[in-house]
Amino acid sequence: MSIRYDEGRPWKGWYSTARWRKTRLNQLTIEPLCRMCRLQGRFTAATVCDHIERHSGNPDKFWNGPFQSLCKTHHDATKQAEEHRGFSTAAGTDGWPIDPRHPANRG
Ligand SMILES: [Zn+2]
């Protein structure tokens, strides 16, 4: 039997823990500006600690990231586009898409 991490989505509650507040604050301290705004040459204060990789309830990914700082606008737009496409276009430090569902990582 495979483990279904997302069953019942218990991780929704992890966002309201002190541990998450600390993790989020730490990320926003390291990277105070929205990463996507910066790519567009704009400087916007980030308010969201975003999981670059979908954690799907995996505690290791949830708590250890990788994370990126985003403004709310970009966070919402990114997640909506990702759900529409079915994969994330976020790239790792080597420039390769991180998401295993990305077409470049299939086959
Ligand atoms: Zn932004």
Distance 105 CA to ligand 1 centre (A): 27
What separation in angstroms does the CA of 56 have from each of 64, 84, 101? Answer: 13, 17, 13
Residues 6+ apart with CB under 8 A from 8: none
pLDDT at residue 81 greater than cutoff 60: yes
Distance CA(74)–CA(45), nearest Å, equals 11
Q: Tokens at residue 71, please?
A: 């403004």
pLDDT exceeds cutoff 70 at 107: no
Distance 67 CA to ligand 1 centre (A): 15
pTM for the model stands at 0.69
33-78 pLDDT, tens digit each? 999 999 999 999 999 999 998 888 899 999 999 999 999 999 999 8
Separation of CA 47 and ligand 1 centre (Å): 9
Please give the distance, rounded to the nearest whole angstrom, from the Cα atom of residue 50 to the centre of ligand 1. Answer: 12
Asked if 46 and 32 count as a contact pair (C-beta separation under 8 A), the reply is yes
Beta strand pairing call for 48-51 and 67-70? antiparallel
CB–CB of 89/102 below 8 Å?
yes
Averaged pLDDT, 102-106: 79
d(CA 55, ligand 1 centre) in Å:
21
